[in-house]
Amino acid sequence: DAVSVETDPPTAPFHGRCGLLRVVKKSIVLFGELFNQNPEVFFLYEPMWHIWQKLYPGDAVSLQGAARDMLSSLYRCDLSNFTSLGLFGATLNKVVCSIPLPPQSLRLLEEECLKYNTIVIKGVRILDVNVLAPLMEDPSLDLKVIHLVRDPRAVANSRIKSRHGLIRENLQVVRSRDPKLRRIPFVDPGHKANKKDGSDYHSIGAMEVICDRTSRTLRTALNPPSWLKGKYMAVRYEDLVENPVKILRSIYRFANLTANHDIESFALNMTSGSSSSSKPFIVSSRNATQAASAWRTVLSIQQIKQVEDYCHHAMSVLGYERVRTAGEAKDLSKSLLTHPDCENVLTTKDRLI
């Protein structure tokens, strides 16, 4: 959901650091590629995945400090926390793919990292911008955050579609829920239980933690402390796919980058193609506007209501309208995007900052 940018550190020959935080599957993969495709950017795809895997079954909230510490090292091109080039997503990393790096050559990759003015790190496993406060207050870093948000109902649908790849992660997130709260599930009396109900339950349940942490981030951004002022931007995924070039230019300005014709063409192509992939974490050219609304015809009204119950505050602030009936959800002629309450920090298709 977020991108962090570091500029002008006094002890190293680079100017910028960026990282992508907190949205799952294709939306954040696409967003990351907008930076990975830029020849001026050194991009890392979800390095915190390794921490979550290594420290499983630790819950998501308890792993935030370890994830932040890893980011602190990576912004300084310190890859000592890794034992090989087996970085998650390395096969799509343009730097790893463009130079002949032996499997154990992390030192060579560090040297390549130091050559770049901007580093982008995609990190959906940072759940709350407040976790980054120590880094943003660090005088040796000049960190910015770009927070990619998406309709929580679409996020839930994406997590359900990726249930097999996210089984452990969903459990880690669900374990972070407040055990004192009494939860009443939205159950269809006519529903017959099936094998995938358990994984769907955890996919939906994870949204309680995700939306709670999103709300914390938004509350902080709307009344920013000194360490966040001028360093935070929120972007709605739906606005990005509807107006990819305009949003891209705004994002790049914020990150002190220049959007050239090639990267603009890439953004347009990746959001207006006709193909698609049902596999998680795969980038493909597709009609992203249609894909952004896919949840409306896939999720049951009970699943929709459950997500809306968990996410009502974040939805209100970000301008996502709730639905009353299954028919209203399936009526794709009706837009569910409304005027956001966080206009001062949100970049939309109508208001580019």
Q: With 80 as the cut, is the pLDDT of residue 248 above it?
A: yes
Average pLDDT for the chain: 82
pLDDT of 31: 87
Query: CA distances (Å), 321 to each of 148, 151, 181, 277, 316, in order?
Result: 18, 9, 25, 28, 7
Q: Rounded to whole angstroms, how far apart are CA atoms 18 and 142?
A: 10
Mean pLDDT score, 89-114: 79
Confidence of residue 234 (pLDDT cuts 50, 70, 90): very high
Q: What are 23's two structure tokens? A: 């949205």
Residue 336 has pLDDT above 80, yes or no: yes
pLDDT bin (cut points 50, 70, 90) of residue 61 is very high
148 contacts: CB under 8 Å, gap ≥ 6: 1, 2, 3, 20, 21, 22, 23, 27, 28, 31, 234, 235, 237, 240
Q: What is the model's pLDDT at position 140?
A: 83
User: Does pLDDT of 37 surpass 80?
Assistant: yes
Return the number of other C-beta atoms located less than 10 Å from residue 107's C-beta: 11
The class (CATH top level) of 4-347 is alpha beta
- What percent helix, strand, coil does the chain show, rounded to 5? 45, 10, 45
Q: What does pTM read for this prediction?
A: 0.85
Share of the chain above pLDDT 90, in %: 49
CA–CA dist 44, 96 (Å, integer): 10
Residues 5 and 15 sit within 8 Å (Cβ to Cβ) = no
Amino acid sitting at position 27? S
**96: its two tokens:** 């790893």
